[in-house]
Structure 1
Amino acid sequence: MDWLECGVLFTVALIATIALTPLAKRLAVRLDAIDYPSSRRVNNRPIPRLGGAAILGGLFVCLLVLFVGMRWAGWRTPFVSYPGMPINYLVMLAGVLFMFAVGFVDDVISLRPRIKFAGQVVAATIVAASGLLLSSIHNPFGPGFIEFGWLAYPLTIFYLVAFANIINLIDGLDGLAAGICAISASTIFIFAIITHRYDAAVFSIALAGACIGFLRYNFHPASIFMGDSGALTLGFALGIVSLMAIARSALFMSLLVPVLAAGIPVLDTAFAIIRRVRAHKPIDAADKGHIHHRLLQAGFSQRKTVLIMWGWTLILALCGIFITETTGVMRIPFMLIILGITIYMVVKLRLLDPVLLHHYHPRGRKDYLPDQLASRRAEEERARQENGDARR
């Protein structure tokens, strides 16, 4: 694949997604897949939420153009198997379709968390069965690779399900998840070109085009949300293309590229899990302690919050590329940039407050967290009002 062909695929995915989004909006209205305003949402008016259908449609139109180009324009096929890891791309695409179906059904009828999680595991299992596996990593202490053997299957399933969910969790503001995915996919595209992983390059540039096309309708004020059909599919696809890009890589540091490209969702998910465990809440419980919520609470508008998080993602992603492409002491400045920005944002937004507050608050209660206390007081007030109404 050359730059012209990649440019064509990017443009096709972008235009197709823009063209299909109004159709996805109409479908969402017909199926009543609508995000209505509530205390846990930031939208103040009903918004359709089946944008994932347009994103998936854009990706498949792009693949159709790719096959036409391979057959009639003499494009070189990007679908090659790496030594020791043959991939059945049709089975892999079936896994993506299954993940989309899980998200689509959840957008329409709201699946139970366990059923949705089981569907995600099935989708990841299909991809693992296609031959795309996190089967080994380059040995950082010597020559050769560290082989995972049968553990490659559960590791791959965990990796893909984790990627799907971290994007789903970050999808809380207009354009946030789509922009982060576009930046992450573009980063993986650059890395894939550098390492000659052309299948990863094709899928990632198509993914970037679809995300940017969707932003035409999804940036604030959004007229459509991507929903779980979009967030789960995008996260899942990012996990897949990142595995393609790093598979059998001779660089141990290449593992940093997908992790840093999705660094903010990873960080946000980690803090969300810690926060909910400390609050004795289910891990999948909704709250308003995410990074974007903290930025909104700090007084930033939706647009500024999204732009800040896009910029943060871009810096992490570029540093990841530079770290993999440099050696020795040349990596230190980029590592310091990553560490410095992350520590500054964590401290500035007080992301660790729910974890650390019980250690130093004078009341000394482990369950004394401002958000919890406010929620508890609100519940007590509602209970008193309901009891009063019942007595009357």
Structure 2
Amino acid sequence: MSYHVPDWIPFSCLFLASLAASLLMTPVARKIAVALGAIDKPTGRRVNKVPIPRMGGIAIFSGIAAAFALQYIGTMSWGWPVVLVPSPKLNVNYWMLVEAFCVIFATGLLDDKFSLKPKIKFAGQLLAAIIAVAGGLVIGDISNPFGPGFVSLGWLAYPITVIYLVAYVNIINLIDGLDGLAAGISGIASFTMFVLSVMAGRLDAAALCIVVTGSSLGFLRYNFHPASIFMGDSGSLTLGFALGCASLLSVTRFAGLTTIIVPIVIAAVPILDTFSAIVRRTRAHVSIGQPDRGHIHHRLLDEGFDQRQAVLVMYGWTLLLCFGSVVMTQVGTWPRVVIFAALAVVSFLFAKHLHLFEPVLLHHYNPRTGEDELITPADEDFEAEAVKRSEQHWRERDK
């Protein structure tokens, strides 16, 4: 005798499964990281004062894998609703999506162990995105906001989707700088996407979102300050990829402009952090891949906040943006424009207050080597010494 299982039961089970698996696997991940020597040691740019293992992504990925194993069993044996049914306008091969997740996780795991060169790590991200797109996860035509009909992307939809996924991967990676920051923001963003996906009837996206929420919160138990483990690239790349995929799954083949903008608003904090890093490094005439201490969390620490306070401020900022994104989906066109503009202005003013776009990378002439050396404000003693040497060099030269 068949019976209908309410949707909330599978979603609750998926959340609890991912939460429990992540909780149980985090101590295991820490032991693996120690055994493999995947340790973040204190440096002038890092905020940790003691060595911390960095393979927390093992726990995060385990939470996702355990939950979807449960979903498969529930669908096949317990009469759960079939959530792996895409929009009628999409044709997603979910096994290829699983392959893409494995590739992005493996890329991060290898980077945690071997500190891959940027080009190799980018190649792994690109491969994962291409596999997902080849599996049918593609941004389609977009409704014309200025009139009837749709804007057809044609073949451009494929490279645009690849770029979108790679970008989402990196915005979480770049914001992972304080205890609990990336995990907490990912949890808030994924739960917001879960709510929106349920409201839109997108069960596959909702399932992925609630699983990411559980996995993030389970890991956060050990990652919140003072952290005993970092997620590393194995975690940040996996979370970024999951959020990017979830945002695309919740969009129909013919997407409204709002459904494209909302995921960007939800992730606005890490997006703004990434954009400001590109601007200030460009202004400093250095590679955009050059690390610095100009990220949002660094600026908050410089403002006098401790780690917990800085993280909570960024949680609050993200919650505000997520609340605004939910409201945007429930109102008309012009109210949406007003809400979006208000959120953008508030975020810009906060970014300006924190001086996010001002360069923090400095150059000083080193008379010992005869070369121009790059120094960051984190290296205070070295910077002071460099300034002294530079001044002495020019005084001697002027004599």
TM-score, normalised by the number of residues in structure 1: 0.90
1:93 aligns to 2:103 (yes or no): no
- Mapped partners of 1:244, 1:121: distance in 2: 19
**What are the superposed Cα offsets for residues 151-174 of structure 1, whole Å, 9 maximum, x if unpaired?**
111111100000000100000000
- Match of 1:296, as an amino acid? L
Q: 2:80 aligns with which of 75, 79, 103?
A: 75
| CA deviation profile, 1:223-261 (whole Å, cap 9, x unmatched) | 000000000110011100001112325532111211011
Q: CA offset at residue 277 of structure 1?
A: 0.7
Q: 2:185 aligns with which of 180, 185, 192?
A: 180
> 2:356 maps to what in 1?
351
Q: Could you tell me how far 1:36 is from its partner in structure 2?
A: 0.6
**What displacement does 1:317 show?**
1.0
Corresponding residue for 1:288? 293
Q: Could you tell me how far apart the structure 1 residues matched to 2:330 and 2:181 are?
A: 28
Write out per-residue CA displacement over residues 89-142 of structure 1, whole angstroms, 9 at most, x where no aligned residue: 010110111011111000001101111111111111111111100122222123
Change (3 A) 1:83 1:196: same
SS of 2:166's equivalent in the other structure is helix
Higher percent of residues as helix: 1
Superposition CA RMSD, Å: 2.4
3-state SS, counterpart of residue 354 of structure 1? coil
TM-superposed CA distance for 1:337, in Å, is 4.0
Task: Report whether the alignment pairs 1:146 with 2:145.
Answer: no
Shift in CA distance, 328/159, structure 1 to aligned 2, threshold 3 Å: closer
Are 1:216 and 2:245 an aligned pair? no
Which residue in 2 is equivalent to 1:113?
118
Determine if contact 1:220/1:302 at 8 Å carries over to the other structure: yes
Alignment-mate amino acid for residue 220 of structure 2:
L
In structure 2, the residue matched to 1:47 is: 52
Which residue identity is paired with 1:165? Answer: N
* TM-score after normalising by structure 2: 0.88
Task: Quote the sequence identity (%).
Answer: 47
Alpha-carbon distance, 1:347 to partner: 2.8
Report Cα offsets for 1:30-70 as digits up to 9, x if no partner. 00000011111100001000000110001100001111111
Kept in 2, the 8 Å contact 1:189–1:204? The answer is yes
Secondary structure, aligned partner of 2:329: helix
CA displacement, residues 294-320 of structure 1 (integer Å, 9 cap, x when unaligned): 000000010010000011001101101
Contact kept? 1:135, 1:147, Cα under 8 Å? yes
Alpha-carbon distance in 2 for matches of 1:353, 1:117: 27
2:175 aligns with 170
Aligned residues: 373
Query: 2:151 aligns to what SS in structure 1?
Result: strand
Q: 2 CA distance for matches of 1:181 and 1:378? A: 41
Shift of 1:148: 1.2
1:18 matched residue in structure 2: 23
Task: Point out where structure 2 has 5 or more consecutive residues left out of the alignment.
Answer: 1-5, 361-373, 393-399
Pair 88,302 (structure 1): closer, same or farther in 2 beyond 3 Å: same
1:371 to partner: Cα distance? 8.3
142-151 vs 273-282, greater mean Cα deviation: 142-151
Q: Which runs of 5+ in 1 are unaligned?
A: 356-366, 386-392
